[in-house]
Amino acid sequence: MASLHSLDALTKKGKKKEIEQLKEYDLSTGKDLGEGSYGKVKTATHKKTQQEVAIKFVEKHKLIKQNDDLRMKREMNFILNLNHPNILKAFEITEDPENYYIVMEKPTEGDLFNYVCKKNRLSLPEATYFFYQIVNGISYLHKNKIVHRDMKPENILITSDQIVKIGDFGFANNFKDKNVK
Catalytic annotation, residues: 150
Per DSSP bridges, beta strands 164-166 and 52-59 are unpaired
Report how far residue 162's alpha carbon sits from residue 119's, in angstroms, rounded to the nearest whole number: 14
Report how far residue 35's alpha carbon sits from residue 44's, in angstroms, rounded to the nearest whole number: 15
Report how far residue 106's alpha carbon sits from residue 54's, in angstroms, rounded to the nearest whole number: 5
DSSP-assigned beta bridge partners for residue 164:
158
Residues counted in the chain: 181
